[in-house]
Amino acid sequence: MSRLDHYLALNYHKRLYQDDEGDWIVEIDDLPGCVADGKTPDEAIANGREAMRSWMESRISAGLDIPEPSVAEEYSGRILLRMPKYIHRRLAIQAQQESSSLNQYILSLLSYCCAQIRSGSLQAISSAHEPAPRAYYLAPNASVATSSFQSGEAAGFDEVLAGFSGTSRQAYGASQGGRA
């Protein structure tokens, strides 16, 4: 088996997505700059195989190394994530409203955002974020000016994000085993 055949037989991770013009794009993650397109997903994948061959041939002829595919076992699927308490509270409440575990809810949010980024419809988190209407965040007894709320400098901001005030907040904390 030739060196080229050895690398072509390896399982490189490919990303397939559709661009704004409707063409299908395939990118080979471990081969920087190795990209192909096609009018259909099948055509893009076939063109991707040819792009891999050309990419590898040019590296071999230049005397350069060809990277091995990344190994999926490098990722355990577990991460430790630290966040401010008000975000933790807000996510817990939203997960409860969706009848989902907090872990599953956060995973669904991450998956959705990754898909949006991959599709190109989410350019940057900050510019794509649309604040929810004021009523969504404020509990009936909460009073915060819209301008100060949006700037994040409102008094009692964590209560506003949680959507609870006074006894509602205490009741929610008790229903969650004391963790809000």
Is this prediction's pTM over 0.85? no
The pLDDT of residue 82 is above 50 = yes
**Shared domain check, 65 and 126:** no
Of 72, 93, 114, the one marking the end of a domain is 72
Residue 180 lies in a domain: no
Domain membership of residue 115 (yes or no) is: yes
**Per-residue three-class SS string for 130-171:** CCCCHHHHCCCCCCCCHHHHHCCCCCCHHHHHHCCCCHHHHH
CATH number of residue 35's parent domain: 3.30.160.250
pLDDT tens-digit map of 91-149: 999 999 999 999 999 999 988 888 777 666 655 444 444 444 433 333 333 333 333 33
pLDDT of residue 71: 73
pLDDT of residue 158: 43
Looking at the chain, the whole-number percentage of residues with pLDDT higher than 90 is: 44
Domain coverage including residue 120: 85-175
Residues 66 and 101 in one domain: no
Look at the chain and report how many structural domains it folds into: 2
Q: Please determine, for residue 79, whether its predicted confidence score (pLDDT) is greater than 70.
A: yes
Whether residue 90 sits in one domain with residue 65: no
pLDDT bracket for residue 72 (50, 70, 90): low
Tokens found for residue 91: 């996510």
What average pLDDT does the segment 26-38 reach?
93
42 within a domain of the structure (yes/no): yes
Find the angle CA(88)-CA(89)-CA(91) to the nearest 5 degrees: 65
